[in-house]
Structure 1
Amino acid sequence: MMSATQPALFWSFLRIGLLGFGGGPAMIPLIRAEVVTRHGWVDDEEFADILAIGNTLPGPIATKIPGYIGYRVGGITGCANAVLAIILPMILAMILLLGLLDHYRDVDWIHGMGQGVIPVVMIMMAQLAWDFWHKSRLSLGAMTTMVMMIVSGSFIYWLGIHPGLVVGALLAAALLRPTASGKGVS
């Protein structure tokens, strides 16, 4: 792509990084508005595919989608440009807020704010778990989902196996699983 695209990539993803409160999932509609509606770098179908692949890969969605779109639009430079633009506001905000928190950590109301965030995060995690349950139940069925939850939980919590190994084993099992034609994925 032309080098003129690099500033557009940077400013588009910087704008998303500045306005995308609520983390990666909250940024997805903003990313779509920029890359599909405003610039036409991808169409809706391609964006849906990018989102699906991004959700299956480990790591934050807020950097995977910009990284891929940046690469697609502007090559390796575009990838670095888009990722830097989307994380720059987060990095600066974290430095500023952690500096303020460190300076005022002994103030009672600051301490109370920290304690007040815990129940909110707990509810957000519960919502995420519910969403995963719902998606898994729809694609695998309730019984298979329940068995996988119990077996995975047993390996992780009772046997002390690292969650990454459990996820890796499940991915390997899915790849080796016979398909309808009787052959595994090749």
Structure 2
Amino acid sequence: MISPKLFLSFFKIGLFSFGGGLAMLPFIQEELIKNRGWINPKEFIDMLAISQVTPGPIAINSATFLGFNINGVLGSAIATISVILPSFLILITIAHFLERFKNSKYVEWIFSGIRPIVLSLIASALYLVGKESILDIKGAIIAIAIFYLVGIKKISPIVGIIGAGITGILIY
């Protein structure tokens, strides 16, 4: 009986998450950890790590990973389909009406209002992940250094991940 609940949970996450996978993380935390109790914060951090290093969008990777943890292969398929279904339906609807409203100031206002919300959702995800995964000053220094190197100095994120992993192994 978990399949309909799994579908509804991930459909809701997909429906109300604007701004991509990172903006989706607070919704996943709220729905799967707090509301459903299907995963714990440590599993959430594991999901995030695996979703980030696996090719593909983080939202789909997260849904696939969590669905599998919750209900095996069937859960994986249900979570993946249900998290992308709202976007698919919304895009089909928007495409139908786009020509009529593409120059509307109201549409422009809506997207201008959504941008700060997406930024705040990503900041919330950053706080959530940092709170659960940065446990001491050494971890904070590694996180800040990688943020600086990837965000400011523009090194490859892959190099940053590998570098952080090697540094973590050496320090810990």
Task: Assess if the C-alpha contact under 8 Å between 1:63 and 1:86 holds in 2.
Answer: yes
2:79 to 86, 89, 93: 86
- Gaps of at least 5 residues in structure 2 are 18-23, 53-57
The alignment yields a C-alpha RMSD, in angstroms, of: 3.2
1:74 is aligned to none
Aligned to 2:55: none
2:113 to 116, 119, 144: 116
- Counterpart for residue 140 of structure 1: 136
TM-score by length of 1: 0.61
Alpha-carbon distance between aligned partners in 1 of 2:25 and 2:127, rounded to the nearest angstrom: 18
Higher relative contact order (CA 8 A, sep 6+): 2
User: 1 or 2, which has the higher helix percentage?
Assistant: 2
- Residues 147, 67 of structure 1: alpha-carbon distance in 2 compared, 3 angstrom cutoff: closer
Normalised to the residue count of structure 2, the TM-score between the two structures is: 0.65
Q: Which moved more, 1:17-26 or 1:112-121?
A: 17-26
- Give % identity: 11
Unpaired stretches in structure 1, ≥5 consecutive residues: 1-7, 37-46, 72-78, 179-186
Q: Distance in 1 between matches of 2:65 and 2:86?
A: 20
**1:28-177 equivalences in 2 (<5 Å):** 28=29, 30-31=31-32, 47-48=39-40, 50-57=43-50, 58=52, 59-60=58-59, 61-71=62-72, 79=73, 81-102=74-95, 103=98, 104-135=101-132, 139-141=135-137, 145-146=140-141, 148-149=143-144, 151-177=145-171
* Runs of at least 4 residues off by over 6 Å: none
1:54 and 1:65 in contact (8 A); partners too: yes
Q: Give how far 1:117 is off.
A: 0.7
2:12 matches 1:15? no
